[in-house]
Amino acid sequence: MGIRLFDIYGEPLPVSDVNRELVTALKRQDINTQRYILSHLQG
C-alpha cells in the first residue's frame, strides 16, 4: 500500500513480517509498544 517506515536515523525499513507489529503500533500511535518493538529490532 506504499507504506514506508523509517528508523530513528531516517533509513527506510522494509515492510515485512518482522516489523508488521511495528506498522500496527505506528498506526495506533502506541508509543509504549513502539519503544518495546524498536528496542528488540535494534538489538
Q: What is the 3-state secondary structure (H, E, C) of 8-40?
A: CCCCEECCCCCCHHHHHHHHHCCHHHHHHHHHH
The whole domain housing 38 covers 5-42
Could you tell me which residues come within 8 angstroms of residue 34 by beta carbon, excluding any fewer than 6 positions away? Answer: 22, 25, 26
Identify the pLDDT of residue 35: 74
What is the tally of structural domains in the chain?
A: 1
Identify the pLDDT of residue 37: 73
Identify the pLDDT of residue 1: 41
pLDDT tens profile 1-43? 455 666 566 666 666 656 777 777 677 765 676 677 777 777 5
Which residues partner with 12 through β-bridges? 6
Q: Which of 7, 12, 15 is nearest to 40 (CA)?
A: 7
